[in-house]
Structure 1
């Protein structure tokens, strides 16, 4: 979200949340925080260790292996992947010497066919979202964790699953520890939770972490079914855990605190989903709803619902397009003018490119940075005053980056500004 001190809010959140530590939550269960971009949880069995997620690179996985051995004196015999994102699997190769079983679940919803055909552009947008090309000072954090080790040249070290379950729940005893694994659709369609009934510990993967989640990722991708995510949170809540260990950010401890946090997290997401659907049914368009819908104060002020990763606005837009598609109901938009033609006509109507550029300059001076971006796009689409428009667009994006609380949005602004300043022609122009 955009606010006057957005960048500082993100910096404060980062400094308060991502402090490196290894905590023994209950006897025999540890969580490693801010060793990598994601968390890792390890559980001591009779003769070996069960590891839930493995951090994001081989180097960080090796450090995790040393931490585990120092704490338990044992090697990892079992790895459980909460889901397929690389930041949770990229350190697994560090444990190859002990040849652990590696457990994963198949997705409950198939990946869209031909997704590979758009992988290049999604990867490019992902690099902007995560700010891979930014310095540490510019980056601040990745919103839900410290920077991935990949930006420092560290390689991923994957280990393929040796067992892939295709059912919703599997209960096993692994080296003397009862482990209940349940598929809970949310941030990914192969997401699972790991319940340790004897310890009252629940590892929830990425279906809960301590800020507004990526209900839609601006890098692009398949719709994340928000109604299913809410049902998954209901499933998590039904376990009455005393300790909730997320894949990112700090654990939640105490049964009452876990229940309260999960209820608020679940209800806030459901509120945005339902308010968007109500507004759609009233005939409101996507832009109007995105501007109108905000979290009620009882949720907005909660520290674990801050918009440091996803945002409410992007969630509204995702819901709208998922339920109604690209058409907003306005017949004007059935066959809109091409951007170039619209730019030419609008620039002419406004008195020509010089007049539009003066309006851009005035917008920046008056701190109307979004309006400045839209005016710059008119010039760029019309093919007028290209260099000036790029320069001013980059300047406006840098101003917006200082207002953005979401690490993802902030990075996207900054990386895009660099691209324009360095003479690249991004595909969105």
Structure 2
């Protein structure tokens, strides 16, 4: 994440244990999770009667074609730090789910634990379980075509090396990114070198709009998104029956190095084809579905369809709780309908970039049809209720998939949920406002919390009543009420403990891995404070360097602190000596603006520096003074103006508070 020079490096590198723990965590490091209550046990036992647990087809499909895996399931980075470890999930070998895990989620967690190299069909292989996503390997005539090289370079490299243990060591001739989410491109430098791409020895393909979407999503709101992702994926939670068991879409996110190499070829419309190293590929564009830039692929030589991330073995997200633009359910179902029309009668194997494949035309048609109908049902029913005056929260409670869809394993709430997807449809069309004027300008959480607690008779009275609700198993209400006590007085340990207990039971009951992790992370931080341990920063140096000039300058504008900039007017010229580009930069009215191909006649300072060097200075890899001394930058005019501008740029705390003010 971009920061002022002194702090930039820390924000963009992986946080390590050396950063230490905050006092609250150090003092209470022994706090442990509780057991399932009677209410939670009863809720989870009921799930066993509601779903067809005797259907074992997914277990067979998830194991089909397995060739082998790493002898040691640990993957480390160059410094020896563990970035991926599946041995922590050995507890999932137990057949029966413990009382602290929803049995349906336990089943999905077991399926996602099957890892290694798998043969999908002739010349198509996948490495699964080495990251949140899959890497697909297509054997060309002389080399390999890789689809989606995982989230981080370390896991991608390990996946390719595993393939080479079982198949010929052919060079990689092409990489294809199916879409603009970081777990589908971040490991690219673990499998190819940028110099080989620049020399034309390796092609990189992506859908139109890929770079803008990939970079903007992970930069503009990247700090908030990365922090919230810790809750969604639970990567910092202990692995175990009372902690993280799965992420629904895969095990969890790896903690390695996010990289990026720009595409050399963009696919722009459905029906386009490419022949790469003897492999014929037909593309179907699916923008605005699971990602703003996304495409599916058909391989006619093997009657194989890559569904990217538009059809996986769970209900997906129309809104992802880590935070992102709401996805278009209407566009999504239409894309899957088009997939069925285009490829349904000529597909014998379907694979995606998460989970396991499906084989057989009838099975595939039924699967795609269910997925299509689920997104259309949620879309249409949510709008039906909205047009009857129901609010977002009410719609989330009322929309339920019909039995024919709800009973299908591949539409369960492991990742997205019907509840928050229905709310996403409302948000997409109607926004955050319920229509009730009482909701138009509510007090912020801290101010409201103090008033709520005062109105309810004080913290002690609230906690006494909340404990009675907890004893009755009313955990949602306990969490909703007690959060006000925490926000009114974050040092109230009794309130923090009771809210944590309630969130924990909600996590134990959750079928959604995302919800489980969020509840358990909230409980953990209420008890222990905010951890400062390893996490992957999506706004890595590669991501920042990949920004266009306007994107880079737009992000600097996001970082401008309006209060510190108020009353100041700065005029700076920026000249890029390597490209000849010129920008007039202005701070005025507490806004940072820029104009390309212009220069201020009355500039207070002119900075002549390549963009890469300026980014390096902002990342803490160098300083402008060092760059000037080395002849890589030149400052004309008043250097204090540049210092004043950089002093207006905010620092973003990558570990900000979520469950407390």
Give the alignment's TM-score, normalised by structure 1: 0.91
Q: Hey, what does 1:39 align to over in structure 2? A: 134
Q: Hey, what does 1:313 align to over in structure 2? A: 419
Q: Take 1:428 and 1:7, find their aligned partners in 2: how far apart are those partners? A: 24
Instruction: Say whether 1:324 aligns with 2:420.
Output: no
Q: Hey, what does 1:88 align to over in structure 2? A: 184
Cα drift, residue 342 of structure 1? 3.9
Q: Take 1:50 and 1:17, find their aligned partners in 2: how far apart are those partners? A: 24
Equivalent residue for 2:115, pick from 7, 16, 20: 20
Q: Take 1:162 and 1:257, find their aligned partners in 2: how far apart are those partners? A: 36
Q: Take 1:326 and 1:91, find their aligned partners in 2: how far apart are those partners? A: 36
Q: Hey, what does 2:154 align to over in structure 1? A: 59
Q: Take 1:52 and 1:345, find their aligned partners in 2: how far apart are those partners? A: 54
Partner secondary structure for residue 231 of structure 1: helix
Which deviations, in whole Å up to 9, do the C-alpha atoms of 1:290-337 show, x marking residues without a partner? Answer: 111111111111011111111011101111111111121223223334
Q: Take 1:189 and 1:220, find their aligned partners in 2: how far apart are those partners? A: 14
Cα drift, residue 85 of structure 1? 2.1
Q: Does the 8 Å CA contact 1:341/1:382 hold for their aligned counterparts?
A: yes
Q: Take 1:147 and 1:286, find their aligned partners in 2: how far apart are those partners? A: 29
Cα drift, residue 18 of structure 1? 3.3
- Between stretches 328-337 and 289-298, larger displacement belongs to 328-337
Q: Take 2:490 and 2:458, find their aligned partners in 1: how far apart are those partners? A: 9
Equivalent residue for 1:74, pick from 138, 145, 170: 170
Q: Take 1:366 and 1:421, find their aligned partners in 2: how far apart are those partners? A: 22
Q: Hey, what does 1:397 align to over in structure 2? A: 503
Equivalent residue for 1:143, pick from 211, 226, 248: 248
Partner secondary structure for residue 142 of structure 2: coil
Q: Which of structures 1 and 2 has the bigger CA Rg?
A: 2
Q: Does the 8 Å CA contact 2:153/2:191 hold for their aligned counterparts?
A: no
* Superposition RMSD in Å: 2.5
Partner secondary structure for residue 205 of structure 1: coil
Matches within 5 A, 1:193-204: 193-204=296-307
Cα drift, residue 121 of structure 1? 1.6
Q: Take 1:81 and 1:350, find their aligned partners in 2: how far apart are those partners? A: 54
Matches within 5 A, 1:358-373: 358-373=464-479
Cα drift, residue 204 of structure 1? 1.1
Q: Take 2:446 and 2:131, find their aligned partners in 1: how far apart are those partners? A: 45
Give the alignment's TM-score, normalised by structure 2: 0.61
Equivalent residue for 1:228, pick from 309, 312, 331: 331
Instruction: Say whether 1:357 aligns with 2:463.
Output: yes
Q: Take 1:380 and 1:312, find their aligned partners in 2: how far apart are those partners? A: 29
Which deviations, in whole Å up to 9, do the C-alpha atoms of 1:39-69 show, x marking residues without a partner? Answer: 1222222111222122233232223323443
Q: Take 1:359 and 1:117, find their aligned partners in 2: how far apart are those partners? A: 43
Equivalent residue for 1:161, pick from 263, 278, 283: 263
Q: Does the 8 Å CA contact 1:44/1:72 hold for their aligned counterparts?
A: no
Q: Hey, what does 1:336 align to over in structure 2? A: 442
Q: 1:291 to 1:174 in 2, by over 3 A?
A: same
Which deviations, in whole Å up to 9, do the C-alpha atoms of 1:314-363 show, x marking residues without a partner? Answer: 10111111111112122322333444454344334433322111011111
Q: Hey, what does 1:251 align to over in structure 2? A: 357
Q: Does the 8 Å CA contact 2:148/2:177 hold for their aligned counterparts?
A: yes
Q: 1:87 to 1:115 in 2, by over 3 A?
A: closer
Q: Does the 8 Å CA contact 1:200/1:243 hold for their aligned counterparts?
A: yes
Q: 1:171 to 1:323 in 2, by over 3 A?
A: same
Partner secondary structure for residue 30 of structure 1: strand
Q: Take 2:352 and 2:268, find their aligned partners in 1: how far apart are those partners? A: 23
Instruction: Say whether 1:237 aligns with 2:370.
Output: no
Cα drift, residue 256 of structure 1? 0.5
Q: Take 2:154 and 2:126, find their aligned partners in 1: how far apart are those partners? A: 18
Q: Take 1:347 and 1:132, find their aligned partners in 2: how far apart are those partners? A: 34
Matches within 5 A, 1:183-198: 183-185=285-287, 186-198=289-301
Which deviations, in whole Å up to 9, do the C-alpha atoms of 1:254-309 show, x marking residues without a partner? Answer: 01000001101110111111000000001111111111111111111101111111
Instruction: Say whether 1:4 aligns with 2:43.
Output: yes
Q: Take 2:461 and 2:218, find their aligned partners in 1: how far apart are those partners? A: 43
Q: 1:287 to 1:109 in 2, by over 3 A?
A: farther
Matches within 5 A, 1:92-131: 92-96=188-192, 99-107=201-209, 116-131=219-234
Cα drift, residue 188 of structure 1? 0.6
Q: Hey, what does 1:275 align to over in structure 2? A: 381
Cα drift, residue 35 of structure 1? 3.2
Q: Does the 8 Å CA contact 1:43/1:49 hold for their aligned counterparts?
A: yes
Q: Hey, what does 2:281 align to over in structure 1? A: 179
- Between stretches 85-94 and 122-131, larger displacement belongs to 85-94
Please, which runs of 5 or more residues in structure 1 have no aligned partner?
A: none
Aligned length: 425
